[in-house]
Structures are given as C-alpha cells and as structure tokens.
Amino acid sequence: MLTIYIITFVFGAIAGSFLNVCIYRMPKGLSIIKPSSHCPSCESPIRFYDNIPIMSYILLGGKCRKCSAKIPLKYPIVEFLNALLYVTAVWRFMPDISWHLLAYFVFLSSMIVITFIDLEHQIIPDRITLPGMPLGLIAGSVILHDPFWRYNLLGFKASVAGLLLGAGLFYLVAIAGRAIFRKEAMGGGDIKMMGMVGAFLGWKGVLLTTFLGSLFGSIIGILLIALKGRQWGSKIPFGPYLALGSVISLFWGQEFLIWYLYAR
C-alpha cells in the first residue's frame, strides 16, 4: 500500500510540473506544448536534471542555474499540492484503481490550475472548462461514482443535471447581480467552471460546492477587510473558493450528506 502511495505521489508531482506550464502560459495565450520549459528571465532551456519536481527547487536554492533569477515559490507548491491530492484520491477511492480514478486526477489538476490562474489574473480559462464539461459528462455517465453515495454510479442524468444546475444557477446570479447592483456579480468563467464541476460531481455536488465556496469566500473577504483594509464589495476571485469546495465535495460529500440527514 505504501508503495502505491509513493508511486502516486511521484506521478502527481510530475503532473504538477506540467500544471505549472499551464498556469504560466494559458493566461498569455501561449502553447502549453512548445517551446520546452525555459527560464522566464534569461530564456535558457531548463535541463532535465534541473526539472525534477520539488527537489530541483530545493537543490537550486530557488534560483535559476544560469541567471540566478528567483524561481517563484508557487512552482513547488503546485507540484506538492497536486501530488498530495492524487494520494488523497487513491486513499479515498481504493481499492478501485481504474479509469474513474484517472478522471478524478484530471478534475483535481484542473481545479489547481483554475485556482492559481484566477488568483493571479482573475480569469478562468475556457481551455479548461469548455473541454471539462463534455469530459465530465462522459466520465459521469460511464465510470464516475456519486460522491454522495459511492456505491452508485453517478449516471448520465445526474451529470447533466449537475452541469445545467451549476451553469444555470451561476448564470442567474450573474443576471441578478447586474440588475440589482449594476455591476458584474459573477464572471463567465465561474459559470462555465460550475458547469464543469456539476458534470463531474452531479447536482448535489453543485449545491455543496456553492455553499462551501460562498462560506470560504465570505470568511476570507471579511478577514481581508478587517486586516488589510479592503473595501466592502471589492472584487475577489471566486474560482479558488469554488475549487476548494469542489475538492471537499468530491472527497467527503457522502460524509456531509450523512451528517446532514442524521444531525437534524
């Protein structure tokens, strides 16, 4: 069992290295395939021995070997976080090492990319969410389990209902916000992101993700106002909080449902 976790962690860290490429290039409209990885400061190609996830950052002291420019700390953080989520998925959904686990890997990595891009640029790339919606529908119809009752297949109906509820609910929020507050209350990226989340997690996943995302966003927003003097109503990226809510819904949705049913 430990061997499986170690292999999964290494695989997740390697995948996380590719996520860093996506996070850097997607907002710029660049190809995520070509050219090969290079230093953003001196544009020197990064050799394979300097491109080992997590370890290379430590061995290089967080600096480029050629020009000594600082390497952003978010690079090893992304690699470690992706590896940790992959290991958590294996732990949560063992012993079923199958295609549905790989689909969850894709979903979790997508949430990481969305989080870091939205934090820095306040956009959620269509290059993730638009392919993510049909992928979620296909996977949800054929291989994914219902996060709120893991013995059951999610199924086509629940996946479609989740996509429609996720995108539709946030679209209505966007319309209502513009009508009431005369400003954008919900971005198009959030709408498409929740459509993707619903396709993977179903309609119950949309509800729990929305609740948790709103809760986390409210808490952080209040803290920013209290500690850093942010103005009330100032815009904050919502994608990271929705991503966190979706991950919790995926891993612990069934536990939340049981708690809700028996706590009343």
Residue range 234-263: mean pLDDT, rounded: 88
What is the spatial distance between Cα 34 and Cα 216, in angstroms, rounded to a whole number?
A: 37
pLDDT above 70 (res 17)? yes
pLDDT above 70 (res 212)? yes
What is the spatial distance between Cα 72 and Cα 68, in angstroms, rounded to a whole number?
A: 12
How far apart, in Å, do the first and last CA atoms of the chain sit? 38
Two tokens at 41? Answer: 């400061």
At residue 181, the pLDDT reads 67
Q: 148-159 in b/e burial notation, b at 16+ Cβ within 10 A?
A: beeeebbbeebb
What is the spatial distance between Cα 13 and Cα 21, in angstroms, rounded to a whole number?
A: 13
Instruction: Using DSSP, state whether 103 is helix, strand or coil.
Output: helix
Which is it for strands 145-146 and 149-153: parallel, antiparallel or unpaired?
A: antiparallel
pLDDT in tens, 60-96: 888 888 888 898 999 999 999 999 999 999 998 876 5
At residue 263, the pLDDT reads 66
Residue range 226-240: mean pLDDT, rounded: 73
Listed ranges 23-32, 35-44, 74-83; the one with the highest mean pLDDT: 74-83
Q: Which residue from 107, 45, 114, 52 is spatially nearest to 79, judged by alpha carbons?
A: 52
pLDDT above 60 (res 8)? yes
Bigger pLDDT: 43 vs 216: 216
pLDDT in tens, 130-155: 999 999 999 999 999 999 998 889 99
For the chain, domain boundaries: 1-97, 99-264
Q: Within the chain, where are the H helices?
A: 2-25, 55-59, 74-93, 99-121, 126-142, 156-181, 188-228, 239-263
At residue 164, the pLDDT reads 97
Give the pLDDT band of residue 160 (cuts 50, 70, 90): very high
At residue 246, the pLDDT reads 97
Give the pLDDT band of residue 233 (cuts 50, 70, 90): low
Give the pLDDT band of residue 197 (cuts 50, 70, 90): very high
pLDDT above 90 (res 220)? no
